[in-house]
Structure 1
Amino acid sequence: MSLITNVMDHSLDDGYAEAAARKQSLGQGGLPRTLRAKLGLAGGLVLAALVVTVGAAQARVAAPAVAKERQELVDRIDRETAAADRLEAGVDKLRDDVSARQRAALKKSGGGQADLVGILSGATAVHGPGIRLVVNDAKSATAGGEGTNPRTTSGFSDTGRIRDRDMQRVVNGLWASGAEAVSVNGQRLTALSAIRAAGDAILVDNKPLVPPYTVLAVGDGDRLSTRFQNSADGLYLHALEESFGIRAGISTEKDLRLPAAPSVIVRTAQPSTEKGTS
């Protein structure tokens, strides 16, 4: 208690008190004593007040202009966003029109096999039993973007990351195991699809994908799962899990729904009009 009482009674250290008393005795402390010093202090205070006042006045004058510029920028962003939404709606409408024309063309040229042709070509949406395969980078791998950026790392030196060639083997293994339709992260694969890398991103039909990669394959679920896991490509995926910590999970599903491919355009191949010879 004596220590607390001493601190309360002597809040200023004795050394500071002695220094202040010494300066006061020498005439060095307190306010200026001479007229010149007082005038200098007054001038300094006036100058500081003037600077603050001018700054406040300028900020007040500039505030409406800044607010106007900000509002103009917000309006411009709103206009451009609305224009982008209209263009996107137009693209969706044209895509639906193209899909309808493709189905009509398939029905006209494919006869009774139009539905089968549409399914195999990826031109029509499909549903049915199959498997869901989710492949993800290793926990120790460096991946960024929080779902918005495909990759924000220094390159493919990280062996705990899924690469384009790994995804190619997975997809090819599913086709070879009997899959009738395949999609990756909602991207329907066709005979014209390509899986490649651009920088650090994996592209499926030129669309960058973000891990984890969800691969849906329509087919005989149990048989497809068993054949894939026992195939060379399934064993390759298992080796990635064991050696590099790649995460993969496979499950059979009773009803999977795969969208149609955005565009199925053949620019070079033409139907043959020649009849085969026996």
Structure 2
Amino acid sequence: MSGDERALGGFSRDAGRNAHEADAPTLLPVPSLLRSLLSDHLDPGYAAAAEKSGGRPRRRGVEWAWQLTAGLAVAAVLATAAAQARAVAPATRETQHVLADGVRTAQESTNAVAAQRSSLAARVEDERRTRLEGDEEGRVLLDRLDDAEFAAAATPVHGPGLTVTATEPGTSLDLSDVSKQRIPGGRQAILDRDLQLVVNSLWASGAEAIAVGGIRIGPNVTIRQAGGGILVDNQPISSPYEVDAIGPPNAMQDVFDRSPGLQRLRLLEASYGVGVNVSAADDLTVEPGAVRDLGFAKPVGQ
């Protein structure tokens, strides 16, 4: 095979030519584009550039100089950013301290006002009882007020009952296991609707007063989800979630053991590793809840 044939990938320049037969094709049957691909291994643009430069190789020194310049520029940018970060770090920490102090001050003020309110409410209650207990009509009115305050969860209650504790599972070793996530992208297994179902099941079991995380459940109290946390009466609570229910322990537990609330917790226990504990207590104390004024109301059915 000649050099031209090798350049054509094995095709001869005379392939397909026939001078012995009349009207036989005399042109090469290989298309010109295919022949060009087989014969011209260098792009014309590269060939022209090589001819223009006289075939001289690119200078390594110029390439290294450009690479060194680019590296120095990147290093300068990073150094400037680091210097700026160090310069603003003290101001950032100072701002954080100021905000934290403001939060603590506001919390202390809120606690002081709440304590003052509780003290004034106790004085009002004592004064009211002193004035109403003097006659029969006053005592009847006082009994009606006591019933209304108890229904509004405005009075402290203590006595035997049940404590239901639900604890979030520990962090999984495989954080990429999305099958263990009730909320996409989150690790929280116990949600607001689970605690709502537990509270409703305890009411149905005969509870007289209930508190979730130490917060009394009353007519105007809600349990709701807020991002990755749970709010009870707009106050955040965290795991372990304790639900205290005052009432006859044995009778309550017999009903609660078959309730949808405990079944939901058992399902979470089996599926997500949630800790569940139900125990009876001889003496539980449930603090009074916040009482809000109603703008309007009417009896049901009217």
Counterparts of residues 67-106 of structure 1 (less than 5 Å): 85-86=108-109, 88-98=111-121, 101=124
Asked if the contact 2:182/2:188 (under 8 Å) is kept, the reply is: no
TM-score, normalised to structure 1, is 0.58
For 2:163, the aligned partner's letter is R
Tell me which residue corresponds to 1:219. 247
Tell me which residue corresponds to 1:61. none
Unmatched segments (≥5 aa) in structure 1: 1-69, 143-152
Counterparts of residues 60-71 of structure 1 (less than 5 Å): none
For 2:115, the aligned partner's letter is D
Moved over 6 A (4+): 73-80, 102-109
The answer to whether the aligner puts 1:186 opposite 2:214 as a matched pair is yes
Residues of 2 paired with 1:140 and 1:241: CA distance?
Answer: 15
1:198–1:82 CA distance, 2 compared to 1 (3 A): closer
Residue aligned with 1:203, SS: strand
Residue aligned with 2:291, SS: coil
Q: CA deviation at 1:97?
A: 2.6
Q: CA deviation at 1:158?
A: 4.5
Q: CA deviation at 1:166?
A: 0.8
1:40-78 superposed Cα distances (whole Å, 9 cap, x missing partner)? xxxxxxxxxxxxxxxxxxxxxxxxxxxxxx9xx999988
Counterparts of residues 242-253 of structure 1 (less than 5 Å): 242-253=270-281
1:247–1:93 CA distance, 2 compared to 1 (3 A): same
Asked if the contact 1:135/1:249 (under 8 Å) is kept, the reply is: yes
Q: CA deviation at 1:248?
A: 0.8
> Aligned-pair RMSD on alpha carbons?
3.8
For 2:108, the aligned partner's letter is D
Q: CA deviation at 1:103?
A: 8.5
Tell me which residue corresponds to 2:143. 112
TM-score, normalised to structure 2, is 0.53
Residues of 2 paired with 1:116 and 1:126: CA distance?
Answer: 13
Tell me which residue corresponds to 1:62. none
Tell me which residue corresponds to 2:223. 195
Q: CA deviation at 1:176?
A: 1.1
Asked if the contact 1:196/1:203 (under 8 Å) is kept, the reply is: yes
Asked if the contact 1:241/1:247 (under 8 Å) is kept, the reply is: yes
Residues of 1 paired with 2:100 and 2:271: CA distance?
Answer: 48
Q: CA deviation at 1:243?
A: 1.9
Q: CA deviation at 1:119?
A: 2.2
Q: Which has the larger radius of gyration?
A: 2
Asked if the contact 1:160/1:244 (under 8 Å) is kept, the reply is: no
Residue aligned with 2:245, SS: strand
Residues of 2 paired with 1:247 and 1:96: CA distance?
Answer: 39
Q: CA deviation at 1:227?
A: 0.7
Tell me which residue corresponds to 1:255. 283
Select the structure with the greater relative contact order (CA < 8 A; seq sep ≥ 6): 1
Unmatched segments (≥5 aa) in structure 2: 1-92, 130-137, 174-180
Q: CA deviation at 1:120?
A: 2.4
Tell me which residue corresponds to 1:127. 158
Tell me which residue corresponds to 2:167. 136
Residue aligned with 1:112, SS: helix
2:203 to 175, 180, 203: 175
Residues of 2 paired with 1:75 and 1:130: CA distance?
Answer: 45
Asked if the contact 1:123/1:264 (under 8 Å) is kept, the reply is: no
Residue aligned with 1:230, SS: coil
Q: CA deviation at 1:270?
A: 5.5
Residues of 2 paired with 1:205 and 1:175: CA distance?
Answer: 18
